[in-house]
């Protein structure tokens, strides 16, 4: 699939599955914007790895107002949003799930 010049937002896009997905979209020509709560140094390194003209916006997707502002920023910069890959790890209580919790859940349920 060709994503040349498409504007793609990826929540949780600076680490794990989100970062790998961002790299693939970037390789296919997309303008990638990662929404993230990661620390700045993690974000800067991830953007280098993602390549192309990728960027990031600090956004806590468990907060509706953060999401609205971040999307407005993307549309202001690019004039549109073509695709959203919703990847951020949010638990049932609206809090980001740490890796350890995901591992424990997987082991507990034999996943």
Is the CB of residue 67 less than 8 Å from the CB of residue 87? no
- Burial-class residue 28 by CB neighbours within 10 Å (0-12, 13-18, 19+): middle
Radius of gyration of the chain (CA): 14
Walk along the chain (111 residues) in steps of 10 and give the mean pLDDT of each run. Answer: 94 93 96 96 96 95 91 96 87 57 56 52
pLDDT score, position 109: 55
Question: Which pLDDT score, from 0 to 100, does residue 65 have?
Answer: 92
Write down the pLDDT at residue 88.
84
What does pTM read for this prediction? 0.80
- pLDDT value for 106: 54
């Amino acid at each position: 699939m060709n994503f040349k010049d498409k504007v793609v937002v990826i929540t949780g896009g600076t680490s794990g599955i989100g970062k790998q997905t961002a790299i693939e979209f970037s390789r296919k020509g997309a303008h990638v914007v990662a929404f993230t709560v990661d620390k700045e140094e993690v974000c800067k390194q991830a953007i280098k790895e993602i390549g192309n003209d990728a960027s990031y916006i600090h956004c806590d997707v468990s907060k509706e107002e953060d999401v609205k502002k971040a999307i407005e920023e993307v549309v202001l910069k690019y004039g549109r949003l073509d695709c959203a890959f919703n990847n951020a790890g949010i638990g049932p209580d609206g809090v980001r799930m740490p890796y350890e919790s995901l591992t424990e859940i997987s082991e507990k349920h034999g996943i």
